[in-house]
Amino acid sequence: MRDALNAGLIEFLKASPTPFHATASLVQRLEAAGYQRLDERESWATVPGGRYYVTRNDSSIIAVKLGKQSPLIGGIRMVGAHTDSPCLRVKPQPELQRQGFLQLGVEVYGGALLAPWFDRDLSLAGRVTFRRDGKVESALVDFKLPIAIIPNLAIHLNRTANEGWQINPQNELPPILAQVAGDERIDFRALLTEQLAREHELNADVVLDYELSFYDTQSAALIGLNGDFIAGARLDNLLSCYAGLQALLSADSDETCVLVCTDHEEVGSCSACGADGPMLEQTLQRLLPDGDDYVRTIQRSLMVSADNAHGVHPNYADKHDGNHGPKLNAGPVIKVNNNQRYATNSETAGFFRHLCMAEEVPVQSFVVRSDMGCGSTIGPITASHLGVRTVDIGLPTFAMHSIRELCGSHDLAHLVKVLGAFYRSRELP
C-alpha cells in the first residue's frame, strides 16, 4: 500500500502544478469514485448517502460524503488542507526584452524560498481567460516543457555569494524564455493564444487575462539510498490534499465526511474561495439542517487541519525545541501553539492521539522554540469561522516553501491510515 500511495502522490504532484490544476486533479479522482458536481449557482437536491463536490474559482474544492443518517446525530468529520504553494506569478504586462533576451516579469506569490528557483528547468501553467465568439471563457493551460530558466550569476562575478546574498525579486527573478532579434517584439498573450490552440484545439479571439505560475519540470521522486524520502515541489500542501483524498475515498462509513482544500493559504486565506472566506460555511449551510440544528451539528463535529510540519534537520537541529523535534518517517505531528497560531486544544489533540494509538500509527508533537515566531494554518481560521473544534496536524518535512521540498516516504501511509480512521470513527468526543 505504501508504494502505491507514494506513486499516486508523485503522479498527483505532476498533474497539479497550480491550485487550478490541483483542483482539477481532485475533481478527476472524485468523479472516478462516483462523486457528483454540485453547482453553487443552482439549487441542490442531495440525498442521504450521496457523494458530492463543489468548486469555487476553479482553485478550491469541497468534497462531501453525506452520511446515511442525519449529520445532526453523529456530527461531521472534516479534513482541511490547501491547494496553493509559494511560486512566481507572471505579471499582467510581463514582456521584458533586454540584451536580446525575452524575459517575463514575475510577482512572488507567498513566502517563497527564492534561492532554489535559480538554475531550474521551469515551465508555466495556470488559468487563461479569453474571448471566443463574443463570450468570455476560461481554460487551464500547462506548457509542460521546460520553457524558461533563471540562471545564477557566476561566482566570479559575485565573490561573496556564499556568504549570504540578498535576492532582489524585481531585478533578479525574471526568467529567460528566449533569445530574440533586436527589432522583434514578442506578445505574451499571442503565445497564450497559440498554447490554447495547441492544448485545447480552441481558437480564442483574444486572451483577456490570466493567472499563470512558473513551476519546476523535474518530477517528484523517491530519494535516498533506501528510498526513505520523497523530494518534490508543492508537498506543502498537496501532500495533505492527497492524503485527505485517499482517506476519504477509502472510508466507507455511515458518517458525514468532508474534505476541504482551499486556495490562497500562503497569502493569508482572505478571498472568496480561501479559508477566510465563506465557502465552507455556505456549503455546510446548504447541506445541513438549519437554525438550532445547524449549530448543534457543528458542535458535534470535528476538523482535522492538515498542513506540513517542520521536521528536525540534522544540520540545523538547534532550530527546534529539544523536546519537540519531529522526525521524518516517525508519523504525523500534532501542532500546538497556545497563542492560537494552531487551533489544537487538549481535547482535539487527545482524540487525534487516541486515533493514532488505535491504528498503531506513530505520532509526534511540535511546539515552536519559545524564542521564535510560529507559522499558522487554515486551522485557526476555520475554527473561528465555523466555531468547530479543530486539531492542527501534518507530516514532517524539510525545505518548506522551496521549489523542491522533502518528506519521508513512510509518512504518507501513516497519515492516510489515521485520517481514514477519523472518517470512519463512530464517535467524536
Q: Is 263 in the site for Zn ion (CB under 5 A)?
A: no
Q: Is 405 in the site for Zn ion (CB under 5 A)?
A: no
* Closer residue to Zn ion, CB minimum distance, 142 or 307: 307
Q: Is 237 in the site for Zn ion (CB under 5 A)?
A: yes
What is the C-alpha to C-alpha distance for residues 221 and 227, in angstroms, rounded to an integer?
Answer: 9
* Closer residue to Zn ion, CB minimum distance, 191 or 383: 383
Q: Which of residues 84, 142, 236, 392 is near Zn ion by CB under 5 A?
A: 236
Contact predicate 155/163, CB 8 Å: no
Of 13-21, 207-215, 228-236, 243-251, the segment contacting Zn ion by CB under 5 A is 228-236
What is the C-alpha to C-alpha distance for residues 257 and 280, in angstroms, rounded to an integer?
Answer: 13
Q: Which of the 8 DSSP states describes residue 117? A: G
Site for Zn ion in 95-134 (CB under 5 A): none
Q: Which of residues 84, 263, 307, 405 is near Zn ion by CB under 5 A?
A: 307
Report the relative pairing of strands 389-394 and 302-306 from DSSP bridges.
parallel
Q: Which residue, 384, 393, 86, 365, is CA-closest to 240? A: 393
CB atoms within 10 A of CB 110: 16
Q: Is 82 annotated as a binding residue?
A: yes
Binding string, 381-400, against Zn ion, x = CB under 5 A? Answer: --------------------
Of 138-146, 162-170, 307-315, 365-373, the segment contacting Zn ion by CB under 5 A is 307-315
Least CB distance to Zn ion at residue 148 (A): 25
What is the C-alpha to C-alpha distance for residues 336 and 325, in angstroms, rounded to an integer?
Answer: 13
CB atoms within 10 A of CB 131: 13
Least CB distance to Zn ion at residue 26 (A): 16
Q: Provide the β-strand partners of residue 76.
A: 256
Q: Is 401 annotated as a binding residue?
A: yes
First to last CA, the chain: 30
* Closer residue to Zn ion, CB minimum distance, 237 or 402: 237
Q: Is 324 annotated as a binding residue?
A: no
List, in order, residues 6 or more apart from 317 with CB less than 8 Å away: 325
Residues that bind Zn ion (CB under 5 A): 236-237, 307
Residues forming the annotated binding site for Zn(2+)? 82, 156, 401
